[in-house]
């Protein structure tokens, strides 16, 4: 026996970027909650999608070191891009909070496709948390990301006194991948932004770890959208995988790295900005990072582009290189420009790179990894090293950069005779960037020593290029 609740909600374009709370009365003795939903229509037609896609592309390619006017894009290429983003869709997700204020799950891609979501005492679907089901008022919070045309959302919530419903994609007990792990120090390499099947990734956490071991990575962070349910399963894992969340808000995506407890995404909003969430991330000893700030936005990817005014005092890092450089050069170079200006304004914000991996095909030869310098690889040392800027980003070649034997993240005195040393495993064109401007360019080089004289305080860092392809970028050495 159980109760069943039906909700039929009309949604309009003006409901985009809204939270709609629904109260659920959960009786004593409940053993499982099943949620089904259907959104109709889910997709626009191709013709309805065409004009807004063109407008989004126009904004996107106007960024970076070499912006384009959409008139200069060959028609055949433009048509292929339009079709790759078509059809546009209405996007609604949900979050379930129990009577104690604890996070119990999100719907992700299952929610509006009619696939059931289960929260049970013994098992749950991926992205949800199994366990005791306390009686009282629960909250089903609808996250209306984008409604491009009028639609109807039908929700059915079944509350059962027996845990009887068998559903695919339930969370299984975790099996550690490694029984032991060799201690590492010095320059260790890893990825800060990865997704599992607890949100919209393809891999289980076990297979995600195995895949990144094959990539040769020493550590990874699991940053599923708006949840930390996956990381809470891996406490017995010996491979260095650490917790994180990608706060997937209506106004941008943000990373909390090195955290272990859930933080509500809606604490980030136009009124409060990022301050509250940043403080909560820091309270847990983590890093607050802006993810892919200049990626393509509404309506192709609602909320993906950062559109929120940022108080940079609360930011530790910015993801300047996310995913394939060839596919995303407009946004990556725009983010590098943005980061250069922040450094000029005396913010010590660390540049990081990430794959933002959802599936194996996301990892190509022009996707970055991070090298971070630590005395010993553990979470505390890694967090401290990132905050100090002891990090460089590369799609392959290892690099070295020092001034007067001071390393990346250090400070040198501008009054001294300054000797800059660099090396790169591949022959590249080197750009030495000083206070936001190209200071010296050396074509086709792998190694060198340069005596430099700097008049102003600020920063200096290196970029390694092959033609129009970025191969590696360092964080700065600071000038005082």
Question: Positive or negative, the Cα torsion across 466, 469, 474, 478?
Answer: positive
Distance CA 70, CA 74 (A): 9
Does 172 reside within a domain?
no
Residue 373 pairs with which residues in a beta bridge? 187
Query: How many structural domains compose the chain?
Result: 3
Last residue of a domain, one of 345, 374, 396: 396
Identify the pLDDT of residue 110.
Answer: 81
Q: Is 245 in the same domain as 368?
A: yes
- Does residue 88 contact residue 49 with C-beta atoms inside 8 Å? yes
**Domain CATH for 111:** 2.60.120.380
- The distance of Cα 241 from the centroid of its chain, to the nearest Å, equals 16
Does 455 reside within a domain?
no
Distance CA 180, CA 176 (A): 10
Identify the pLDDT of residue 111.
Answer: 79
Identify the pLDDT of residue 237.
Answer: 96
Which of 275, 295, 181 minimizes the C-alpha distance to 236?
Answer: 181
- Does residue 228 contact residue 262 with C-beta atoms inside 8 Å? yes
Identify the pLDDT of residue 115.
Answer: 87
pLDDT digits (tens, 9 = 90+) for 444-473: 999 999 999 999 999 999 999 999 999 999
Q: Is 223 in the same domain as 363?
A: yes
pLDDT digits (tens, 9 = 90+) for 172-209: 889 999 999 999 999 999 999 999 999 999 999 999 99
Residue 362 burial by Cβ neighbours in a 10 Å radius (0-12, 13-18, 19+): middle
Q: Is 391 in the same domain as 299?
A: yes
Return left, alpha or beta for 322; rule: phi > 0 is left, psi -120 to 50 is alpha, else beta.
beta
Last residue of a domain, one of 396, 427, 452: 396
Phi, psi of 397 (to 5 degrees): -70, 135
Q: Is 244 in the same domain as 116?
A: no
Identify the pLDDT of residue 112.
Answer: 77
Identify the pLDDT of residue 1.
Answer: 56
Q: Is 21 in the same domain as 132?
A: yes
- Does residue 181 contact residue 239 with C-beta atoms inside 8 Å? yes
Q: Is 17 in the same domain as 62?
A: no
Give DSSP secondary structure letters for 124-155. BBTTB--S----EEEEEEEEEEE-SS-EEEEE
pLDDT digits (tens, 9 = 90+) for 33-52: 999 999 999 999 999 999 99
Distance CA 257, CA 123 (A): 27
- The distance of Cα 440 from the centroid of its chain, to the nearest Å, equals 33
Distance CA 257, CA 228 (A): 11
Does 406 reside within a domain?
no
Question: Positive or negative, the Cα torsion across 393, 476, 67, 320?
Answer: positive
| CB half-sphere exposure, 428, CA atoms < 13 A | 26
Does 456 reside within a domain?
no
- Does residue 167 contact residue 114 with C-beta atoms inside 8 Å? no
Q: Is 136 in the same domain as 273?
A: no
Distance CA 203, CA 196 (A): 5
Residue partners of 196: CB distance under 8 A and separation at least 6 = 203, 204, 205, 208, 222, 224, 230
Phi, psi of 83 (to 5 degrees): -65, -35
Distance CA 316, CA 388 (A): 9
For the chain, which residues score pLDDT lower than 50? none
What's the residue count for the chain?
480
The two tokens of residue 149 are 């045309």
CA distances 414 to 1, 182, 341, 344, 388, Å, are 77, 41, 20, 16, 20
Which of 156, 155, 171, 174 minimizes the C-alpha distance to 120?
Answer: 171
Q: Is 69 in the same domain as 17?
A: no
Does 15 reside within a domain?
yes
Last residue of a domain, one of 396, 421, 454: 396
Which of 287, 408, 294, 384 minimizes the C-alpha distance to 341?
Answer: 294
- Does residue 172 contact residue 58 with C-beta atoms inside 8 Å? no
The two tokens of residue 430 are 């080197």
Q: Is 274 in the same domain as 194?
A: yes
pLDDT digits (tens, 9 = 90+) for 203-234: 999 999 999 999 999 999 999 999 998 998 89
pTM over 0.85: yes
Does 436 reside within a domain?
no
Q: Is 389 in the same domain as 316?
A: yes
Q: Is 194 in the same domain as 148?
A: no
Does 340 reside within a domain?
yes
Expressed as residue numbers, the domain containing 141 is: 2-42+89-160
Instruction: Tell me if residue 160 falls in helix, strand or coil.
Output: strand
End-to-end Cα distance, the chain? 72
Distance CA 66, CA 283 (A): 40
Does 442 reside within a domain?
no
Q: Is 229 in the same domain as 133?
A: no
**Domain CATH for 273:** 3.20.20.140
């Amino acid at each position: 026996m159980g109760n069943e609740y039906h909700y039929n909600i009309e949604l309009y374009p003006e409901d985009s970027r809204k939270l709609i709370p629904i109260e659920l009365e959960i009786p004593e003795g409940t053993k499982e909650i099943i949620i089904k939903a259907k959104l109709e229509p889910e997709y626009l037609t191709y013709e309805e999608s065409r004009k807004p896609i063109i407008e989004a592309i126009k904004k996107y390619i106007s960024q970076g070191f070499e912006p384009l006017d959409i008139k200069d894009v060959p028609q055949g290429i433009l048509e292929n891009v339009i079709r790759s983003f078509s059809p546009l869709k209405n996007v609604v997700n949900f979050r379930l909070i129990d009577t104690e204020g604890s996070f119990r799950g999100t719907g992700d891609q299952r929610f509006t496709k009619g696939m059931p979501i289960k929260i049970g005492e013994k098992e749950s679907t991926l992205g949800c948390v199994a366990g005791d089901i306390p009686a009282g008022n629960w909250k089903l919070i609808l996250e209306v990301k984008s409604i491009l045309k009028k639609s109807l959302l039908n929700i059915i919530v079944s509350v059962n006194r027996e845990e009887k419903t068998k559903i695919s994609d339930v969370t299984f007990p975790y099996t550690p991948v490694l029984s032991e792990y060799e201690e590492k120090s010095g320059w260790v390499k890893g990825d800060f932004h990865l997704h599992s099947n607890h949100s919209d990734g393809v891999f289980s956490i076990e297979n995600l770890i195995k895949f990144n071991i094959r990539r040769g990575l020493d550590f990874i962070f699991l940053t599923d959208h708006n949840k930390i349910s996956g990381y809470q399963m891996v406490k017995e894992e010996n491979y260095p995988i650490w917790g994180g969340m990608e706060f997937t808000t209506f106004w941008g995506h943000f990373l909390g790295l090195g955290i272990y407890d859930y933080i509500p995404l809606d604490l980030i909003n136009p009124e409060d900005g990022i301050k509250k969430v940043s403080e909560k991330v820091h309270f847990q000893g983590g890093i607050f990072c802006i993810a892919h700030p200049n990626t393509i936005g509404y309506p192709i990817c609602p909320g993906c582009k950062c559109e929120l005014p940022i108080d940079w005092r609360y930011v530790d890092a910015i993801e300047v290189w996310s995913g394939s450089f060839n596919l995303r050069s407009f946004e990556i170079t725009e983010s590098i420009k943005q980061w250069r200006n922040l450094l000029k304004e005396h913010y010590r914000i660390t540049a990081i790179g990430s794959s933002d991996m959802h599936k194996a095909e996301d990892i190509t030869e022009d996707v970055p990894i991070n090298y971070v310098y630590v005395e010993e690889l553990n979470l505390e040392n890694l967090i401290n090293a990132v905050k100090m800027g002891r990090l460089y980003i590369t799609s392959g070649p290892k690099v070295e950069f020092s001034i007067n034997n001071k390393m990346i993240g250090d400070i040198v005195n501008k009054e001294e005779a300054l000797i800059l040393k660099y090396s790169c495993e591949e022959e590249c064109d080197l750009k030495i960037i000083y206070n936001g401007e190209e200071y010296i360019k050396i074509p086709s080089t792998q190694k060198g020593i340069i005596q430099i004289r700097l008049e102003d305080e600020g920063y200096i860092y290196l970029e390694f290029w092959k033609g129009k392809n970025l191969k590696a970028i360092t964080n700065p050495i600071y000038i005082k």
